[in-house]
Amino acid sequence: MKISANQLLSQLDKSLLPCYLVTGDEPLLVQESLDAIRAAARRKGFGSRELYFQTTGFDWAELSSAGGNLSLFAERQLVELRLPTGKPGVKGSAAIADFVVRADDDILFIVSAPKLDRNGAKAKWVRAIDEHGGVVQVWPVNARDLPGWIAARMKDAKLVPDRDAVRLIADRVEGNLLAAQQEIEKLRLLHGEGQISAADVNASVADSSRFDVYKLVDAAVEGQAGRAIRILNGVRTEGVEPVIVMWALTRELRMLAALADYVAAGTDLSAAMRSVYVWQNRQGIVRACVGRHRAVDFYRLLKALRDADAAAKGQKRADPWQLATRILLELASTSRAAA
């Protein structure tokens, strides 16, 4: 069955399905959906957990044997599979579908993956989970709905913001939900529960001395290579996980590639930016970036980012920070020849 992320909590309150697929490109919302399923599983007595990552050369027989060692008195078990590419291949698709069909009441199976394309959504393994459990599609929050999302999150944190405070946060984070949640948590720490004004938000921003990941992306898009590298070093010093940097760059490059494709197809860039919800205050730097690169440049950098992301997750032997540096320099390049 199909389950929207907004409906997941109410569905879990009613029943716990045998298996779930959580798919989407919004890390915060994907993580929260997974956390909700795990919490419901713990309440139902699933006390142990096996976690599998699909990497190059992954042995699908490991998944097939998962949960096979449960004894009569063992705890019910959560088996979780992460698919970084969302493409398990023919052998993996068959293994997942078979595991879904064979799993009994003592095993709860959770699969997480990035947003699936049209063909991926029709794959055998996805259909099996849809038939026997739930497919949770996590959609990003668009620019129009972001202020409402922020206001609701602040209410959950027992904060009472005025309209200007909400708008200021929305303008600052520019669609980055992780950054929005961090701002909300910081405001609660600084001011406690209660009223929050735009002045409080401004003061919070002014008090923040750390470099932010979305500022890093903007510097590269704007063509400021030196500043981008300084921010990258600051982010690294602050202890930000490299996988967050890779996520932010991937999100931006997918948008840039889509815009370049629109332009190549004859669509006006201004209209294209509106269609993918580029914020007004970013349209100038985005326009310049699309103008100095070709679509093939963005797709090549996305391919490089897959390697960098794998390195950040320990799936590839390479320095993720060094790979990120190269990608930032190419994105910030002011000439097509250098890109």
Q: To the nearest whole number, what is the mean pLDDT of the chain?
A: 87
List alpha helices for the chain, DSSP H: 8-14, 27-43, 60-64, 89-102, 118-121, 124-132, 146-156, 163-173, 177-191, 198-207, 213-221, 225-237, 242-264, 269-275, 283-292, 295-312, 320-332
For the purposes of burial, counting CB atoms within 10 Å of the CB of 129, is it exposed (0-12), middle (13-18) or buried (19 or more)? buried
C-alpha torsion sign, points 319, 321, 326, 331 = positive
CB contact at 8 A, 323 and 304: yes
pTM of the model: 0.60
- Residue 267 DSSP label: -
Q: Which of 303, 212, 243 is nearest to 30 (CA)?
A: 243
Q: Which of 249, 241, 230 is nearest to 304 (CA)?
A: 249
**58-74: pLDDT as tens digits:** 889 888 887 665 544 45
Using CA atoms of 233, 239, 241, 245 in order, give the dihedral in degrees to the nearest 10: -30
Q: 2-137 is classed in which CATH architecture?
A: 3-Layer(aba) Sandwich (3.40)
Pairing of strands 107-113, 76-82: parallel
Residue 178 neighbours by CB distance under 10 Å: 18
The stretch 90-102 carries a mean pLDDT of: 92
Predicted local distance difference test score (pLDDT) of residue 146: 92
The stretch 14-19 carries a mean pLDDT of: 93
For the structural domain made of 146-207, what CATH number should be given? 1.10.8.60
**112-133: pLDDT as tens digits:** 998 888 888 899 999 999 999 9
Look at 23-27, 67-71, 269-273, 303-307 and tell me which has the smallest mean pLDDT. 67-71
More confident residue, 283 or 178: 283
The domain spans of the chain are 2-137, 146-207, 213-332
The stretch 123-144 carries a mean pLDDT of: 92
Structure tokens at 241: 């996980």
* pLDDT surpasses 50 at 338: no
The stretch 143-150 carries a mean pLDDT of: 91
Q: Do domains 2-137 and 146-207 have the same CATH topology?
A: no
**Residue percentage of the chain with pLDDT more than 90:** 46
More confident residue, 85 or 41: 41
Out of 63-77, 169-183, 203-217, 260-274, the most confident range is: 260-274
The stretch 21-25 carries a mean pLDDT of: 91
Q: Which of 137, 136, 191 is nearest to 161 (CA)?
A: 191
Look at 66-70, 193-197, 313-317, 319-323 and tell me which has the smallest mean pLDDT. 66-70
C-alpha torsion sign, points 221, 223, 227, 232 = positive
* pLDDT surpasses 90 at 220: yes
- CA 24, CA 21: separation in Å to the nearest integer? 10
Q: 213-332 is classed in which CATH architecture?
A: Up-down Bundle (1.20)
* pLDDT surpasses 60 at 211: no
For the purposes of burial, counting CB atoms within 10 Å of the CB of 83, is it exposed (0-12), middle (13-18) or buried (19 or more)? buried
**148-162: pLDDT as tens digits:** 999 999 999 999 999
**pLDDT tier at 339 (50, 70, 90 boundaries)?**
very low
- How many CA atoms are closer than 13 Å to the CA of 19, on its beta-carbon side? 25
Predicted local distance difference test score (pLDDT) of residue 217: 92
Predicted local distance difference test score (pLDDT) of residue 337: 41
Burial 263-279 (b: 16+ CB within 10 A, else e): beeeeebeebbeeebbe
**99-114: pLDDT as tens digits:** 998 888 889 999 999 8
CB contact at 8 A, 297 and 290: no
Predicted local distance difference test score (pLDDT) of residue 147: 93
Structure tokens at 105: 């009441």
More confident residue, 65 or 304: 304
